């Protein structure tokens, strides 16, 4: 009886999707940052002890362990500290390859964050390049980094290595 | 900052894994799709259901696959009064270890019953499979077990 063959052929694979639904809250500090994005602004926070400005701020200074209570409005431009040109396709990719992923140090900030660089051939990206954020249309701004479409060169001369070497 | 300004968002983390079943589990799942249970014969002659790839005593390959069930006996059980979304039944039910007729080990599955008073260790149950066109080769092809000759 066990050697009967099923019409559809034997089962050889089993779909075992793993799914986790949860509610995420970014907390007070990051909510401020995200609300800033909703207005088309980069909002950071300064540590009252060491003076460093974090963006996005986690609400405390990781060096001094104190709450960061002073909000700081940052500029729309920054400096590419490091970058990666993505040439390899992967599942779930939403951007056409090749594209540039860079760490960007916003003017006035002491912490870089990752952003997409566009409007430049991938072989022309370099450390120290000055870039500016390109936002979605005002009507499409949401409390998410998706409000920043990408960064692009802003035409300024490259930043001196000394100005960003602490942030690599 | 007012509490109302703190953001919340629904997140979903999902991975669409697909696993290779191998010949033994594959045969077991193929059996479920056909509406029957297959067990593996161990080196000591005992019938293991659900089948393992290897004999749990010796590590040798298991022997012939044989059909068991679809009736069986509840070995132990726990009543679930508030089913969760991912549970096989959305009305109160029991998780139970069921030793199918002809098997020497027990299978974990849901038992549909009107209430915990209707269940007992040693009670006879039988498998209720989904309709043939709904079966895909999965434990979910088995809708639940129901009390033999009783209301579910």
Q: Tell me the whole-structure pTM to 2 decimals.
A: 0.63
Chain A and chain B share a number of CB contacts under 8 A equal to 96
Confidence of residue B113 (pLDDT cuts 50, 70, 90): very high
Q: Which of B98, B108, B94, B95 is nearest to B75 (CA)?
A: B98
pLDDT in tens, A85-120: 999 988 888 888 999 999 999 999 999 999 999 999
pLDDT at B3 over 60: no
What is the structure's pLDDT at B104? 97
- Tell me the ipTM for this assembly: 0.78
Q: How far apart are CA B92 and CA B78, in angstroms?
A: 11
Query: What does the domain layout of chain A look like in residue ranges?
Result: 28-167
Closest by Cβ to A28, choosing from B6, B26, B138 = B6
CA distance B41 to chain A (A): 12
Q: How far apart are CA B70 and CA B12, in angstroms?
A: 38
pLDDT in tens, B87-96: 999 999 999 9
Helices vs. strands in chain A: H and E counts, helices first: 2, 10
The answer to whether the CB atoms of B20 and A21 lie below 8 A apart is no
The answer to whether the CB atoms of A20 and B12 lie below 8 A apart is yes
What is the structure's pLDDT at A2? 44
CA distance A113 to chain B (A): 21
B44-71 average pLDDT score:
94
Q: Tokens in use for A101?
A: 């992923």
Confidence of residue B4 (pLDDT cuts 50, 70, 90): low
Q: Tokens in use for A104?
A: 């960007």
Contact B77, B111 (CB under 8 A): yes
B94-113 average pLDDT score:
97
What is the structure's pLDDT at A93? 82
What is the structure's pLDDT at B150? 63
The answer to whether the CB atoms of A20 and B13 lie below 8 A apart is yes
The answer to whether residue A14 neighbours chain B at the CB level (below 8 Å) is: yes
Q: Tokens in use for B21?
A: 């079943």
What is the structure's pLDDT at B152? 45
The answer to whether residue A91 neighbours chain B at the CB level (below 8 Å) is: no
Contact A147, A141 (CB under 8 A): yes
Contacts of B133 in chain A (CB under 8 A): none
The answer to whether the CB atoms of A35 and B7 lie below 8 A apart is yes
CA distance B123 to chain A (A): 28
The answer to whether the CB atoms of A25 and B38 lie below 8 A apart is no
Share of chain B above pLDDT 70, in %: 95
What is the structure's pLDDT at A116? 96
Q: Which of B124, B133, B129 is nearest to B143 (CA)?
A: B129
B69-96 average pLDDT score:
96
Strand partners, A99: A86
CA distance B127 to chain A (A): 18
CA distance A128 to chain B (A): 34
The answer to whether the CB atoms of B8 and A23 lie below 8 A apart is yes
Low-confidence ranges of chain A (pLDDT < 70): 1-7
Q: How far apart are CA B100 and CA B149, in angstroms?
A: 16
Mean pLDDT of chain B: 93
Contacts of B62 in chain A (CB under 8 A): none
Q: Tokens in use for A102?
A: 């860079």
């Amino acid at each position: 009886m066990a050697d009967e063959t099923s019409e559809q052929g034997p089962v050889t694979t089993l779909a075992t999707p793993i799914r986790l639904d949860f509610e995420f809250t970014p907390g007070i500090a990051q909510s401020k940052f995200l609300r800033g994005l909703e207005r088309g602004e980069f909002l950071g926070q300064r540590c009252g002890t060491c003076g460093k400005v974090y963006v996005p701020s986690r609400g405390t200074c990781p060096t001094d362990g104190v709450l960061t209570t002073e909000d700081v409005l940052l500029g729309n431009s920054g400096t590419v500290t490091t970058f990666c040109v993505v040439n390899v396709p992967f599942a779930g990719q939403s951007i056409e390859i090749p594209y540039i992923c860079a760490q960007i140090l916003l003017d006035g900030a002491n912490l870089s964050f990752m952003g997409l660089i566009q409007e430049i051939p991938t072989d022309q990206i370099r450390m120290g390049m000055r870039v500016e954020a390109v936002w979605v249309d005002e009507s499409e701004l949401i409390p998410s980094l998706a409000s920043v479409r990408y960064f692009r060169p802003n035409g300024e001369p490259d930043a001196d290595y000394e100005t960003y070497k602490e942030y690599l | 900052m007012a509490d109302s300004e703190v953001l919340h968002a629904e997140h979903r983390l999902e991975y669409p894994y697909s696993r290779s079943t191998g010949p033994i589990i594959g045969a077991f799942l193929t059996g479920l799709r056909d509406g029957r249970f297959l067990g593996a014969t161990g080196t000591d002659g005992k019938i293991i259901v659900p089948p393992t790839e290897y004999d749990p005593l010796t590590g040798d390959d298991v022997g012939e696959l044989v059909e068991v069930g679809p009736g069986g006996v509840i070995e132990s059980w726990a009543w679930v009064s508030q089913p969760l979304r991912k549970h096989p039944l959305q009305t109160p039910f029991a998780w139970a270890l069921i030793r199918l007729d002809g098997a020497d080990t027990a299978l974990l599955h849901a038992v549909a019953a009107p209430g915990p008073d209707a269940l007992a260790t040693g009670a006879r149950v039988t498998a209720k499979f989904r309709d043939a066109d709904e079966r895909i080769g999965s434990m979910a092809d088995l809708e639940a077990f129901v009390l033999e000759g009783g209301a579910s």
